[in-house]
Every structure is written in structure tokens, then in C-alpha cells.
């Protein structure tokens, strides 16, 4: 565990600036989950927003790529992998036989370096079916759209290919390889990493880390491969990883971002500021000149706002160590104790209706098992290899404080979620789609006689509302998730096409009616009471 400073100024962090950042996020109604500032190896401040907990592993999405690149760097240092290796010739010669002309010539050129720097020339979609058995063929079978190492396209499957190569060369999964080389030297618990159908760690996504884990890996980069006096990777690898092979990426989340080996370099802070980035607000901002990092986990689609907010407050928050008054220490400590629920949590009232509860209690509701109907949302669905969905066989009962919903998804074992009806959220741990989920839930009766559940997945940027509408023996299940399908589509278009489409497309896809209503997770599902 990282050492904690007694107060921010003790290690040269201005508590007033940090306070302003916290207030700014809350004024913005930004769904931040946690904030940690580390300087000189000590935690200057940490703040969590309920129901998140500091020790809860959080889904990293694309921040995972930076860990994958770190593993490749260690393997390069050990002589296991070469950056100059031509991947088709070494690993996939059979694929070359099916190519001809320019495609074959370009394929021959693709190296490990090109894969690491997102410059291999291929484009895939976030909507590719992750349940397929062979993700490698999914990317290899894509047409090469430009000559390798001449342009940049941000593709998650590149990182999976790196994970596959490492496992091919070592006989170990990424997790197995990194355990003695990264996790143990950094005193980290071995994290969960989602795998493909052929038991290869996903590489580009699927890793769950605590905010402190992210800070430790960031400190490793701040110190050019050294952590607590232990060298984990070489300074040569650090220089390669943080070199801007692409000088100008898509100006989606940052106006002048550059890109190295699965790591972002912000042009405004050229040569001094690096960034790990994951979808929906997973960030680490590294300030090597100040020996500091700022780590955020969140559940919000406004990544650009988060980046701008941090750079508005840092690095100006870094000052010389100084003493502050006991009163100021107390005020800051009170501020950064677990904060109240974020903006998504303010709508549930916990209303009870004993007559309606008695009428529906312990009766089976069978729903048409649509693929995208789930206690989870669109984001989760598209990223998991073992698909969820097909929500059905719902039974709701009640006790003094909770609405208790038991259900099945996609032939899973029966799951149970308790939802507080006393204006409090009830904490649940379930296993769904081979993943352990922490679900905080509340339920309420609405004025129209519908029963609504609010489900928040702590550690996974996803919240979902399930509204049961009762019409005799017919039950309509109305779903609403955040982020929704529109956010997933917006991300895919922006990164695959380099287009900053803004919020209008996202809103259209989320609320565009029947055109998309049968496709994404927030469609109505019809069911009936069967007993």
C-alpha cells in the first residue's frame, strides 16, 4: 500500500486547487468514481464517490492497453520479443498465401512496432462479436487500408494481437507473465483480466485495477522503469514507449494529443506529460517533472471535459512543500471523505406500495428473451466475450427494506439482486457472464404504478434502470442505461473514422425510435405472469 501524506501540502500539492477540482466535477454533474493525487511516492489526497470504494477494482477499458504495452516492453528487454519482427512472416505465413498484390506486400511489412503504435494499417469495429472463438482471425482477415507505419488508426484488437504474440512466445498468459515481473514488484493483487474464447487475455480491454494500482504503474513510468528502487523495465523501453510516433491523432478528446506505444502524450505539455486513457473516464495523468500523477476513475462519456478539467488544475497545483493550519487540514479531510452519490443517484425515492407489492410478490414473470435485454447495458454487452442478455424468469419479492429481484440471463444460473426501498442502496455481489459484478441497487414505486429498479455497477462504468409496467397479466420491461448504445456508437465512429460527431448522434441513436429500438439494449421487452 502506498504511503499516505498527512495533508496535500506536506508533499507539495495545493489543497485549495484540489478542492476546486472536486467542486468543479460536482458542479459539472460529472459521474466521477474516484480521484487520487500522488507526489514523491506518497498519496497526497484520495477521494471516492459513493457507492464506490477505494479498494474496489474498476474496469479499465482502454487503459488496459498501457499495461499490455508494458508487458511487451518487459519481454523486449528480456529478448523474448523484437520490435522489428514481421508478424505475418513469423506467426501467420498461411495468411500470406491467401493475399496478393498490394495487400500481400503491405502485410509482409507489418511489425510488432506497427502493432504497438497503432500503425499497422487495419481497421476493425468495436461492434465485432466478442463471442467469436478466434479474435486473431477477426483482425487478420480485415483489409489493410494503408501502408504500415504511414498513418494511425486506434484499434483495440491491436492490443489483443500483442497479448496473443506474448502468449505464443512465452507459453504464459499476460497475467501469468506479469505476475512476477510487474504485479509482485509493485505489491499489487493479481487483477482480473477478461479472456478470449481461446484463453488469451483480452489485451485491449477487460482489465480491472484499483485506483492505487493505476497510480503505482504510473509512478513506474514517471521514474523511467523503476519502482521503489526496483527496475521493472529499461529506460530504453521508457524512451521508446513515450516517443510520439504519431504527432497528431484525432482531436476527439484532446486538441493536440500524440501517441506512443499505447500511451498518450499531450502536446500542450510536450515531453513532460503522459497519459493512460480508458473509455468513460479512466485516466492517469503523469507529470514526471513534478514527480506526480493524477488518477481518475469515472462512469461518464465526457472524456474531453475530464481531460480539460485536470489540465485546468494541474500542474499548477504542484507547489513547494509547506505547512497549513490544523483547521485547513480538518476541512480538507472532511471534504475528501467518501462523497455523496453522483448525479445518477438522485432520482430514486424508495416509495413503498404494500397493495401492489402483495399483488406481484413471488409471481414468475417470463419475458421474450431478446439478446440485448439485460441487467447490464450496451457497453458491457459489446465488451464481453460470453454474452449476457435474454433477461427472463423474473421473480420479485419484498422484505422490510428491499425489493428482491431474482432472474436469469442467457441460460445463466439464477441471480438475485436486493434493491433498497428505504432511500438507501443495497450492496450486492453477483457473477454474470463469467464476471464478478458489484451492484448497488435501489427500487421505488412510481406514481403510474410501475416498479423501477436502479442498478449501479461499482467498478464498471455502467448504470441501468429497469422499469416494470404492469397491465393485467402483461408486464412491459422498459430499460434505460447509461452510457447507452449511442455512446458506444459515437466512440466507434470517432476513433475508427476520426470524426468528432458530438452529442447529437449519440442522442439520436439512444432515442431515435423504432429504427434502432430493436438493436440496442434499451428496448422494451414484453412478458407475462405465469403464476
Domain, as residue range, for 168: 55-288
Question: Do residues 358 and 256 both lie within one domain?
Answer: no
Residue 100: inside a domain, yes or no?
yes
Query: Shortest CA distance to 277 belongs to which of 303, 246, 300?
Result: 303
Residues 263 and 405 grouped into a single domain: no
- CATH number at 150 reads 3.40.710.10
Cα–Cα dist 34/54, whole Å: 7
Predicted TM-score (pTM) of this structure: 0.89
Is residue 156 located within the same domain as residue 280? yes
| Prior bond of 483 cis (ω within 30°) | yes
Residue 432 counted as domain residue: yes
284 and 351 both lie in a single domain: no
Number of Cβ atoms within 10 Å of the Cβ of 293:
27
Sequential pLDDT tens for the chain (531 residues): 899 999 999 999 999 999 999 999 999 989 899 999 999 999 999 999 887 877 889 999 899 999 999 999 999 999 999 999 999 999 999 999 999 999 999 999 999 999 999 999 987 755 556 656 678 988 898 899 999 999 998 888 899 999 999 999 999 999 999 999 999 999 999 999 989 888 999 999 889 999 999 999 999 999 999 999 999 999 999 999 999 999 877 655 555 688 999 999 986 655 579 999 998 899 999 999 999 999 999 988 888 889 989 999 999 999 999 999 999 999 999 999 878 776 666 556 778 999 999 999 999 999 988 877 888 876 666 666 666 788 999 999 999 999 999 999 987 889 999 999 988 889 999 888 777 888 999 999 999 999 999 998 877 777 888 999 999 999 999 988 877 666 666 666 665 555 555 555 555 555 444 344 444 446 788 999 997
Which run of H or E residues covers position 519?
Answer: none
Query: Is 323 inside a domain boundary?
Result: no
Q: Give percent helix, percent strand, percent coil of the chain, each to the nearest 5.
A: 35, 25, 40
Count structural domains, the chain.
Answer: 2
Q: Is 20 among the domain residues?
A: no
SS3 category, 229: coil
Q: Which of 255, 288, 321 is the last residue of a domain?
A: 288
265 with 405, same domain: the answer is: no
Q: Do 266 and 361 sit in the same domain of this protein?
A: no
Phi, psi of 109 (to 5 degrees): -85, -20
Count of other CB atoms within 10 angstroms of residue 132 = 12
232 falls within a domain = yes
In a domain, 25, yes or no: no
**Using an 8 Å Cβ cutoff, are 380 and 460 in contact?**
yes
Q: Are 356 and 240 in the same domain?
A: no
Q: Which residues pair with 31 in a beta bridge?
A: none
Residue 303 in any domain: the answer is no
The rounded distance, in Å, linking the Cα atoms of 481 and 442 is 15
Amino acid at each position: 500500500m502506498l504511503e499516505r501524506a498527512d495533508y496535500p501540502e506536506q508533499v507539495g500539492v495545493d489543497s485549495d486547487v484540489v478542492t476546486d477540482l472536486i467542486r468543479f466535477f460536482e458542479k459539472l454533474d460529472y459521474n466521477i468514481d474516484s480521484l487520487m493525487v500522488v507526489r514523491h511516492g506518497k498519496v497526497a489526497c484520495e477521494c471516492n464517490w459513493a457507492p464506490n470504494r477505494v479498494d474496489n477494482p474498476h474496469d479499465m477499458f482502454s487503459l488496459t492497453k498501457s499495461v499490455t504495452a508494458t508487458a511487451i516492453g518487459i519481454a523486449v528487454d528480456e529478448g523474448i520479443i523484437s520490435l522489428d519482427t514481421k508478424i505475418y512472416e513469423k506467426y501467420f505465413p498461411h495468411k500470406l498465401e491467401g493475399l496478393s498484390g498490394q495487400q500481400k506486400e503491405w502485410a509482409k511489412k507489418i511489425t510488432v512496432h506497427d502493432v504497438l503504435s497503432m500503425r499497422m494499417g487495419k481497421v476493425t469495429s468495436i461492434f465485432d462479436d466478442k463471442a467469436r472463438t478466434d479474435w486473431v482471425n477477426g483482425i487478420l482477415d480485415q483489409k489493410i487500408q494503408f501502408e504500415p507505419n504511414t498513418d494511425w488508426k486506434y484499434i483495440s484488437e491491436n492490443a489483443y494481437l500483442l497479448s496473443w504474440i506474448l502468449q505464443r512466445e512465452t507459453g504464459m498468459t499476460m497475467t501469468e507473465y506479469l505476475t512476477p515481473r510487474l504485479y509482485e514488484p509493485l505489491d499489487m493483487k493479481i487483477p482480473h483480466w477478461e479472456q478470449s474464447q481461446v484463453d488469451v487475455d483480452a489485451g485491449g480491454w477487460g482489465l480491472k485495477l484499483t485506483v492505487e494500482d493505476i497510480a503505482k504503474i504510473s509512478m513506474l513510468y514517471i521514474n523511467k522503469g523503476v519502482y521503489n528502487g526496483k527496475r521493472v523495465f529499461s529506460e530504453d523501453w521508457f524512451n521508446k514507449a513515450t516517443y510520439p510516433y504519431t504527432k497528431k491523432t484525432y482531436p476527439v478528446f484532446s486538441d493536440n494529443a500524440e501517441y506512443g506505444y499505447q500511451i498518450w502524450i499531450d502536446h500542450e505539455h510536450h515531453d513532460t506529460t503522459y497519459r493512460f486513457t480508458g473509455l468513460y473516464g479512466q485516466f492517469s495523468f503523469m507529470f514526471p517533472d513534478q514527480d506526480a500523477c493524477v488518477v481518475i476513475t469515472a462512469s461518464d462519456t465526457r472524456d474531453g471535459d475530464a481531460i480539460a478539467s485536470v489540465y485546468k488544475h494541474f500542474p499548477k497545483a504542484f507547489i513547494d512543500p509547506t505547512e497549513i493550519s490544523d483547521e485547513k487540514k480538518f476541512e480538507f479531510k472532511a471534504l475528501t471523505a467518501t462523497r455523496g452519490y453522483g448525479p445518477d443517484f438522485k432520482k430514486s425515492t424508495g416509495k413503498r406500495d404494500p397493495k401492489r407489492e402483495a399483488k406481484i410478490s413471488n409471481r414468475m414473470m417470463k419475458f421474450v428473451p431478446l439478446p440485448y435485454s439485460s441487467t447490464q447495458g450496451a457497453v458491457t454487452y459489446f465488451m464481453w466475450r460470453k454474452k449476457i442478455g435474454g433477461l427472463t424468469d423474473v421473480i420479485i419479492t419484498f422484505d422490510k427494506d428491499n425489493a428482491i429481484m431474482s432472474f436469469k440471463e442467457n441460460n445463466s444460473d439464477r441471480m438475485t439482486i436486493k434493491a433498497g426501498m428505504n432511500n438507501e442502496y443495497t450492496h450486492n455481489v453477483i457473477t454474470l457472464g463469467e464476471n464478478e459484478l458489484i451492484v448497488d441497487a435501489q427500487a421505488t414505486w412510481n406514481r403510474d404504478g410501475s416498479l423501477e429498479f436502479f442498478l449501479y455497477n461499482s467498478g464498471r462504468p455502467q448504470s441501468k434502470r429497469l422499469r416494470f409496467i404492469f397491465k393485467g397479466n402483461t408486464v412491459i420491461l422498459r430499460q434505460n442505461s447509461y452510457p447507452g448504445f449511442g455512446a458506444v456508437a459515437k466512440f466507434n465512429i470517432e476513433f475508427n473514422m476520426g470524426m468528432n460527431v458530438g452529442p447529437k448522434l449519440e442522442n439520436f441513436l439512444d432515442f431515435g425510435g423504432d429504427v434502432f429500438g430493436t438493436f440496442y439494449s434499451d428496448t422494451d421487452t414484453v412478458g407475462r405472469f405465469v403464476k
